[in-house]
């Protein structure tokens, strides 16, 4: 009986080190997920920006490569960050304050070359 308990504890200890993640959970959670960002982009941005974020849309400019600072400013406040030279001078962008916790995912998607429509 004692041997079984030690074997069980050994297996629990051994398996606790098995994980698909090579980074600490806190570091992973701080990074944006480009897949989630793509979903957010398609659901919230393509009405005005192009489905391909590297191209201008009907109302909004191309936004591929936009920084998290720029995205937070425009999406949450409707204003540009200090020193930013806007591509368009319009003030038609609606606020999307509900996206605040997801800006990092949007930025991760826009930072990739995958910001192009898939076939």
Structural domain boundaries in the chain? 32-83+91-119
The answer, yes or no, to whether residue 27 has pLDDT greater than 60, is: no
The answer, yes or no, to whether residue 4 has pLDDT greater than 60, is: yes
pLDDT of residue 8: 63
Architecture of the structural domain at 32-83+91-119: Orthogonal Bundle (1.10)
Distance, CA of 62 to CA of 45 (rounded, Å): 11
Is the Cβ–Cβ distance between 96 and 76 less than 8 Å?
yes
Per-chain mean pLDDT for the chain = 83
Residue range 34-53: mean pLDDT, rounded = 97
* pLDDT tens, residue by residue, 64-98: 999 999 999 999 999 999 999 998 888 889 999 99
Alpha-carbon distances, residue 88 vs 42, 58, 81, 93 (angstroms): 21, 12, 14, 11
Task: Tell me the whole-structure pTM to 2 decimals.
Answer: 0.70
């Amino acid at each position: 009986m004692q041997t079984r308990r030690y074997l069980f504890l050994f297996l629990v200890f051994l398996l606790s080190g098995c994980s698909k993640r090579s980074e600490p959970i806190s570091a992973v959670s701080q990074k944006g997920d480009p897949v989630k960002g793509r979903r957010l982009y398609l659901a919230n941005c393509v009405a005005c920006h192009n489905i391909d974020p590297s191209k201008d849309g009907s109302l909004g400019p191309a936004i591929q490569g936009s920084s998290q600072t720029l995205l937070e400013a425009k999406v949450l406040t409707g204003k540009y960050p200090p020193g930013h030279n806007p591509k368009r001078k319009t003030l038609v962008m609606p606020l999307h304050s509900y996206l605040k916790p997801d800006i990092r995912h949007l930025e991760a998607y826009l930072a990739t070359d995958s910001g192009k429509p898939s076939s």
